[in-house]
Structure 1
Amino acid sequence: MAGIRDVARLSGTSIATVSRVINNSGYVSAGVRKKVEAAIRETGFQPNAGARLIRMQESRMVALMLPALDVHFFGILAHEIEQELFARGYTAMICSTAENPESEARYVAALLSQKVDGVLVVSVTEDSHAFQRLQDAGIPIVAIDRQLPDVTPHAVKADHRQGMRMAAEHLLALGHREIAILGAPGHSWPIQERLEGAREALATAGIAPLCIGIGEIHSFEACRDLMLSLFDQGHRPTAILGMTDIAAIGAIHAASQRGLRVPEDVSVTGFDDLPAARYVVPQLTTVAQPVRAIGRQAVNELLALIAGEAPPAPLPGALDLRMVLRGTTGPLIRRSGGSTQGR
């Protein structure tokens, strides 16, 4: 016997959209309604009270689930999304999971009871177990900054690999070959993608990273201490690829504590272009991520799904990354005897 999932699959819509058509509740465009009605006829689906999975009224509430709020990137993202939702008649319910998958599962249970209209999520990992419950309830989901491939095809993110390749290629063009990689948290999909991008760029140049420090705590102090430990192990890079601006700033402080000048003795790059990147001295060379555009595009896609419409594509170039050159990178300085800076 055909079910509501079969209708959604055949019509190319979500369970929530099929539910709205069946119950005549909530907005569905005329074109989408025709697709759903045609799929109902073709499958022979017979809705009943126990199978509808329908909310009779929209809550006009959207949940935003983030792994942290004390990381500036997520704070900016949350602000942009909350403002965009409010301007379009929705209330944002912001949930911080503290990088904990168990907290994600608890929040999912809370969101189901709150009957939210949709969910925007920056997941801790790509594990979709907790979010499957939202999908089963017919709640539209858009992933941000990383994918949830088993739950939703809708993800709004920058190209993390390409961004890190850009940073590595910048250092290589300056003559650096002894390059360290520093970042956190290691379980983060974007960090894993950035690490692969850095490795790819270095491999293309015929070299491997001098050393890699990937921690699990993404804080200035933790990244500084991680870089200090690499120095103490005898590593003397001429350049450091920070997987985030926070990691890069931690590396700058670690270099200063070991008597190294930036960029004369060691060049440093970051990733994100947070406001803090302009507050350090010298200002941080970094890869700028379009966090505000990502937030707006995620809202556009989710509200389209809620309305039963096809999500709009981002404007050309809106989610592109760009290299921002500031004062923390410079050309490799070769000293007498053929030695290089930082040695």
Structure 2
Amino acid sequence: MATIKDVAAVAGVSFTTVSHVVNNSRPVSADVRAKVEQAIRDLNYVPSAVARSLKARSTATIGLVVPNGTNPYYAELARGVEDGCAQKGYCVFFCNSDDDPAKQRSYLRVLQEKRIDGLIVASTGDDAVLAATLGETREPIVVVDRNIEGLNADLVQIDHERGAWLATRHLLELGHSRIGCITGPVSTAVAAMRMHGFLRAMAERGVEIAPGAIVEADFSGTGGYRAAAQLLDTVRPSAIFAGNDMMGIGALRAAAERGLRVPTDCSIIGFDDIELGQFTWPALSTVGQPVRALGEMAALTLIERIGASGQERTDSTVLRRVMAPQLLPRESTAPWCGTREQATLAA
């Protein structure tokens, strides 16, 4: 691989002159510039990004750590982050922690070694030492989706509680009172907020929830499928609120295997508005905001913070950007017609 000294030798100039041409750091005559540029083309010389970043004290790269790269939600989130970074000339290092706190911490160390300019973290949600680990980093941090307790960092997320309230109220307004809920891991803040929204909507209408009507899963399609199977075989609800779209898609499968027509026999609504939900059959009703927009906002928030990185961050300057969710009714929810003989959810 050609070096800057090789280019200088071919062009017949000093390597500092080559540096001035590459970095546009000082004026160089047109004749000399032409010789250097021709030598660069002939040698296929690629300037060292590491050397340039050391001089500029910036790599124009950020790190993104997500808990599950196979989940379409995080794939769309990553695409949004990439879109936001591209607008500002930044590149992204993508790391998937597989919901493993140890792997998550390992990636954080690697990213710091790469001298990233900033970091976006979607936490696994149950790592007790993550806040302390991130608190020791010098780079600006934006937390997206799941808040990290004890960390003084900018946050970008959906209003989870209100979104779940909107989804549940939608089912209630369609005439459903026998509503089952598939929640994510209750140890995570996201699942807890969405559960609270479900419970609040039910309480406001005075609808009782029988034991067994709330089933915990793991935010995956498989988890949603198993939880819905349990609900449909025991509680027999007329509608299901799934704590995310992947679990809602799993619920669609469980209903189909039992010969139930969605939404005639059972309405199903999810949360997140992932693109895949538009192409299920029937198309999945949901709440949320386009996930890519969330990722883009996180990236732009981080780059804004990088630009102000010389300023000390205090509790009063930490940004809290909460996107308002929207109800997106599609084909998987409809008014309850009482066509399926069911037990009530009330105990």
TM score, norm. by length of structure 1:
0.75
Q: Deviations over 1:14-45 (max 9, x none)?
A: xxxxxxxxxxxxxxxxxxxxxxxxxxxxxxxx
| Mapped partners of 1:179, 1:137: distance in 2 | 45
Higher relative contact order (CA 8 A, sep 6+): 2
Residue type at the aligned position of 2:232 = F
Given that residues 155 and 320 in structure 2 are in contact (C-alpha distance below 8 angstroms), is that contact kept between their aligned partners in structure 1? Answer: no
Alignment match, 2:264: 264
Alignment match, 1:154: 154
Helix, strand or coil for the counterpart of 1:123?
A: coil
Helix, strand or coil for the counterpart of 1:196?
A: helix
The alpha-carbon deviation at position 155 of structure 1 amounts to 0.2
Q: Identity percentage over the alignment?
A: 29
Alignment match, 1:329: 333
RMSD: 2.6
Helix, strand or coil for the counterpart of 1:259?
A: coil
Alignment match, 2:291: 291
The 1:259–1:141 alpha-carbon spacing in structure 2 relative to 1, beyond 3 Å, is same
Provide runs of 4+ in structure 1 moved above 6 Å: 309-315
Alignment match, 2:231: 230
The alpha-carbon deviation at position 230 of structure 1 amounts to 2.8
Residue type at the aligned position of 1:220 = G
Residue type at the aligned position of 1:236 = R
The 1:133–1:59 alpha-carbon spacing in structure 2 relative to 1, beyond 3 Å, is farther
Residue type at the aligned position of 1:74 = Y
1:214-229 to 2 correspondences below 5 Å: 214-216=216-218, 218-229=219-230
Residue type at the aligned position of 2:220 = S
The alpha-carbon deviation at position 305 of structure 1 amounts to 1.6
Given that residues 161 and 195 in structure 1 are in contact (C-alpha distance below 8 angstroms), is that contact kept between their aligned partners in structure 2? Answer: yes
Which of 315, 319, 324 is 2:323 aligned to?
A: 319
Listed as ranges, the gaps of 5+ residues in structure 1 are 1-53
Alignment match, 1:28: none
Alignment match, 1:178: 178
Residue type at the aligned position of 1:273 = D
Alignment match, 1:239: 239
Alignment match, 2:214: 212
| Mapped partners of 2:207, 2:60: distance in 1 | 53
Given that residues 158 and 288 in structure 2 are in contact (C-alpha distance below 8 angstroms), is that contact kept between their aligned partners in structure 1? Answer: no
Helix, strand or coil for the counterpart of 1:271?
A: coil
The alpha-carbon deviation at position 341 of structure 1 amounts to 5.1
Helix, strand or coil for the counterpart of 2:324?
A: coil
Given that residues 184 and 223 in structure 1 are in contact (C-alpha distance below 8 angstroms), is that contact kept between their aligned partners in structure 2? Answer: no
| Mapped partners of 1:103, 1:314: distance in 2 | 27
The alpha-carbon deviation at position 237 of structure 1 amounts to 0.4
Given that residues 67 and 99 in structure 1 are in contact (C-alpha distance below 8 angstroms), is that contact kept between their aligned partners in structure 2? Answer: yes
The alpha-carbon deviation at position 320 of structure 1 amounts to 2.2
1:106-121 to 2 correspondences below 5 Å: 106-121=106-121
Q: Deviations over 1:283-329 (max 9, x none)?
A: 111113232222222122211221226889799xx922111111111
- Greater C-alpha radius of gyration: 2
1:120-131 to 2 correspondences below 5 Å: 120-125=120-125, 127=127, 129-131=129-131
259-268 or 122-131: bigger deviation: 122-131
Q: Deviations over 1:128-152 (max 9, x none)?
A: 6234334323211110012124222
| Mapped partners of 2:132, 2:260: distance in 1 | 49
Residue type at the aligned position of 1:221 = T
Alignment match, 1:191: 191
The 1:122–1:87 alpha-carbon spacing in structure 2 relative to 1, beyond 3 Å, is same
Alignment match, 2:43: none
Alignment match, 1:72: 72
| Mapped partners of 1:302, 1:212: distance in 2 | 37
Alignment match, 2:37: none
Helix, strand or coil for the counterpart of 1:94?
A: strand
| Mapped partners of 2:187, 2:99: distance in 1 | 9
Residue type at the aligned position of 2:133 = R
Given that residues 194 and 243 in structure 1 are in contact (C-alpha distance below 8 angstroms), is that contact kept between their aligned partners in structure 2? Answer: yes
Alignment match, 1:18: none
Residue type at the aligned position of 1:124 = T
114-123 or 218-227: bigger deviation: 218-227
Alignment match, 1:165: 165
Alignment match, 1:85: 85
Helix, strand or coil for the counterpart of 2:323?
A: coil
